[in-house]
Each structure stands twice: as structure tokens, then as C-alpha cells.
Amino acid sequence: MPRPKLDRVREALKGTEFEGRAWIVGGAVRDRLLNRKVANDIDIVVIGDAAKAAEILWKKKVATIPPVTYPRFGTAMVQADGATIEFASARKESYEDTSRKPDVKPATIEEDALRRDFTVNALMEDLFTGELLDPLGKGKRDLEHRILRTPLDPKQTFHDDPLRMLRAVRFSWQLGFDPAEGLYEAIEDGAERLTIISAERIREELTKMLQLPDGHECLVDLMDLGLMQHIAPEFCEGVGMDQGPYHHLDVWSHTVEAVASADPRDLTLRLAALFHDVAKPKCRKEESGKITFHGHDTEGEKMSREIMARLKFSNDDIDAVALLVRHHMRLMGIKDFSDSAARRLLRDLKDQTERFIELCEADSAAHAPGVKRPDYEHVREVLVRVAERTPHELLDSPISGERIMEVTGINEGEQVGRVKKHLSELVIEGKLLHTDTEGAEKEAVRFVGNRSNV
């Protein structure tokens, strides 16, 4: 029978033209049948005007917001009982080669099912009776056999909407389904059409993948199927790139393993694991048989910012990931993690410190077996002890950037930053008290006087 969450929706539409002409469709049906948690986004397909169905809910005070309508696509969205409900008029679609936005026409339920991405997402449940409807005659069987199949020939389905290629990869690992014969081959053939998809939609799918426990397997598929070339081609340069004796994997495979070791519940951490070695191909040098990647942390910060901006990540997300990438080598080769090193780390990483340690652990886990790793628990112990007696505000320069400019006469910019960092280093080393503003001013003047410093 229909879910209790939709009782009021069903009651509101009872006795209207939509009674017996409305079906729950898509993920809400699929996940219920798989005994998975059902999301609060529910799609309902209707025979008739979707906007009218949504308006009925608003007028009967079932919806908590006025309907948001999209006339071109025949859809309308409302909020009701804590769920986002999108009504869609049953439709058939046709596409131009250069766009994933379809031209739509009214259609039967069977025709509507043909336009959907996968057969298991075309299963429908009668809103009023709870009866399961399988318009294609394949969805229920594919669900039982855990097969991911497109309603039409996969080349046609992916050509119509190339975003479905990314969804195919995600659903395969999210649901534990095997791709139907020819599905992945169709993705390989049509991968280039991903270029017509907006960066925002690509980013959305990529982040959903990274938040899956098997998100690293999604990355493998993206690369193997030729999709990564059209998402972030910079990663492709790491495929097959040898890293030397401390690594048993090439750059890309190492990245995948690092992502696998990062907690999928922390998207920022997984993104940092994905980007941490993105600059290695650019920085790789081989001299006298020795392979080096000097500067890949600083170059990686720059590349992370460029790629994430291209994919329309928020500035906050970009800053967080770039900071972690910039510092991810900081503990490599360290022999003794001192109190002053802890103070520097707390100053530079602030509330990202624990995530930084977790990134280092994920990176180390992807190194060759037998390679000596830092004692991360010892690092944590030192950080906790130092943090308890050294608040963040005591790790900074005793004087502000404005005061530095006043006493030294230098202009705002990188010079001021270098002076301020120098003063904070003296505080961390115990050579300058954080309350000694007079001493800080004198040191700032002396430091600027040595022109090699600024």
C-alpha cells in the first residue's frame, strides 16, 4: 500500500481528475522494493496537467509552499509533509544533438517509461492503490536480478541525455547492480557527449559518487570508460606513471587507493584525497635514475583550485580542499614531531587539522607495503597537548597587518604577509611573546630593513 508520508497527498487528490491517474515513480519505488532508505525527494507522474495537481495540494493546505512550475517540461514541485514532491505530466521527449533539454509532448504511461534512464527507475506505484506497475515489462525482473539496463538502446538513451552515463556508473556501485550487456560499451562510444553537460550537473554526480563507500570504484570506471577525460583530464596524465621505489602503484591508482582509505562521510576529505597528487605528472622529474615530484604540493594547490572552479564548486569547498592539498606532504619524512611543529600545524590548518591527519593516513595507506609511515597517533597526542595550552589566537603575530604597514612603511600585499608570518614563527619558537607588541614592531622594522627578506 502507499506510504504513510503520502497519505495527505493521496487524500487531497482523491475525487479529482487525478484519482487513478497518478503514480509514484523512480527512486522512491526502486529503493522501497530494495529495502533501502527512501529519500525525501518523491516523483509522481500524472496523466494530465502536473501544475494543476500541485496547485490542488497548495489550495488544500497540504503543500507548504506555492508550486514551482516548469511549463516547458510539464513539471511542478511542492513541499509536503517534509518531502519534496515533483509532479510530472506523462510525456515523451525528443532531443537536439547539442542539448540535453528535450522538446516534450503529452504521452501515455508506457511512452513516459521509455524516456526514463533505467528500467528499474521506470517502475511505478499507483498512488491510490499501491499497485506496482511495470510499463516496460523489464523493470521488476531487472530489479530482482540486479541489472542496470536502459529502456531504449543504451546508445540512444545516453545520446539523448549524456548525464545518464555518469548516473549509470553511480547507480552500478550505489545499488550493487551489474551493467547490462552493451551498457558500458555504449558509454565508451558516447563519452565525448559529456561535453554538452553543464559543470554543475557533472559536479553534482561526482560528489554523489565520492560519498559512496565504493566511490573509488566509480573513479576507476570514470577513467576506464573515457569519462574522466571530459571531467578533469588532468587526472588522466597519472595513468601508468611510475612513482619510484616507495610506490607500488602508478599515480592514478595510488590516488584511487587514497580515496578508498578516506571516510566517504567526509566529502571534503575525499575530494582532498582525489586532488592531493593531481600535480605529480606536471612536476615529475627523473635524474640519475631517481624520480622526484618536487613542488607537487604547491602546484597541486593551484591545480585543485583551477579544476574545482571549473566544476563550479563553492569558494569554501575550494579553499578547504586546496589547503589540505597544499600541506599534505608536511609530515612525510618527519622524525620527531615537536611542540613547535605542532604549533605551526595548528596555526596553518586550524579547524582542518584532524582532517589533515586523516588525509595523511589515507595517503600513507596507498604507499607500497613496508614503507615506514609517521606515527600519526603520536602526532595526535602532541597536537592535543599543545592545543590545550595554546589557543589559536596565541599562535599569530602580536601585531596586525595594518600595524606592520604603519611601522615599516611597506604597502599591503605579499610583503606584509611575509613579515606577519616571520613574527608568528618567532612566537611559535618561544622567541617572542604573543603580548609583546613593542618587540614585534621593532622586529618588523629590522626584518624589513634586510631587503633580502621582503
For 376, half-sphere exposure in the C-beta direction (CA atoms, 13 angstrom radius) is 17
Instruction: Copy the grid coordinates of residue 348.
Output: 596553518
Contacts of 450 (CB under 8 A, 6+ apart): none
126-181 pLDDT, tens digit each: 999 999 999 999 999 999 999 999 999 999 999 999 999 999 999 999 999 999 99
DSSP-H helix ranges across 34-108:
50-59
Q: Is the pLDDT of residue 338 over 60?
A: yes
pLDDT band per the 50, 70, 90 thresholds, residue 35? very high
CA distance readout (Å), 57 to 103, 124, 160: 27, 21, 33
Supply the pLDDT for residue 196: 95
Section 409-420 average pLDDT = 86
Domain match, 410 and 374 both: no
Name the pLDDT band for 424 (thresholds 50, 70, 90).
Answer: confident
CB 227 within 8 A of CB 194: yes
Residue 88 is part of a domain; what is its CATH number?
A: 3.30.460.10
Q: What is the pLDDT of residue 257?
A: 97
pLDDT above 70 coverage of the chain, percent: 96
d(CA 433, CA 125): 70
Structural domain contains residue 127: yes
Among 110, 145, 180, the domain boundary falls at: 145
220 is a domain residue: no
Give yes or no: residues 323 and 309 share one domain: yes
pLDDT at 1: 43
Do residues 45 and 23 make contact, with C-beta atoms less than 8 angstroms apart? yes
Same domain, residue pair 359 and 245: yes
For 130, the grid coordinates are 499501491
Q: Which of 104, 123, 145 is the last residue of a domain?
A: 145
CATH number of the domain bearing residue 317: 1.10.3210
Residue owning grid cell 506497475: 133
230 pLDDT higher than 90: yes
- Residues 302 and 299: their CA atoms lie apart, in Å, by 5
Residue 100, pLDDT score: 65
pLDDT averaged over every residue in the chain: 92
Query: Is the predicted pLDDT of residue 432 greater than 80, yes or no?
Result: yes
Interstrand relation of 75-80 and 68-70 (parallel, antiparallel or unpaired) = antiparallel
Q: Do 98 and 15 lie in a common domain? A: yes
The verdict on 440 and 351 lying in the same domain is no
One domain, residues 341 and 274: yes
Which residue carries 547539442 as its cell?
98
Q: Are residues 372 and 423 in the same domain?
A: no
Residue 302: exposure state from Cβ atoms within 10 A (0-12, 13-18, ≥19): middle
Residue 224 lies in a domain: no
Domain membership of residue 454 (yes or no) is no
* Predicted confidence (pLDDT) per residue in 49-78, tens digit: 999 999 999 999 999 999 999 988 899 999
One domain for residues 238 and 382:
yes
Half-sphere exposure for 115 (CA within 13 Å, toward CB): 24
Quote the cell numbers at residue 58.
497548495
For the chain, give the number of residues: 454
Q: Please state, for a pLDDT cut of 90, what percent of the chain lies above it.
A: 75
Domain total in the chain: 3
Are both 2 and 68 inside the same structural domain?
yes
In a domain, 419, yes or no: yes
Domain for residue 347, yes or no?
yes
Do the strands 178-179 and 147-148 form a parallel or antiparallel pair, or are they unpaired?
Answer: parallel
pLDDT band at 3 (very low <50, low <70, confident <90, very high): low
Please state, in angstroms and rounded to a whole number, the distance separating the CA atoms of residues 123 and 24: 8
pLDDT at 333: 77
Q: Flag whether 206 is in a domain.
A: no
pLDDT digits over 244-273, tens only? 877 889 999 999 999 999 999 999 999 999
Average pLDDT of the residues in 178-198: 97
Domain extent, residue 379, equals 232-394
| Domain end call among 376, 394, 412 | 394
Same domain assignment for residues 320 and 375:
yes
Question: Quick one: pLDDT band at residue 235, thresholds 50, 70, 90?
Answer: very high
**366 in a structural domain:** yes
What are the angstrom distances between the C-alpha of 345 and each of 268, 352, 380?
Answer: 19, 10, 11
Distance in angstroms (rounded) separating the CA atoms of residues 360 and 378: 14
pLDDT tens for 339-398 read 989 988 998 999 999 999 999 999 999 987 878 888 999 999 999 999 888 766 667 888
- Model pLDDT, residue 387: 87
User: Which of 425-448 are b and which e, b meaning 16 or more Cβ less than 10 Å from the residue's Cβ?
Assistant: bbbbeeebebebeebbbebbeebb
Residue 39, pLDDT above cutoff 90:
no
274 and 368 inside one domain: yes
Which pTM was predicted? 0.88
pLDDT for residue 137: 96
- Cell of residue 12, nine digits: 487531497
Residues 40 and 107 in one domain: yes
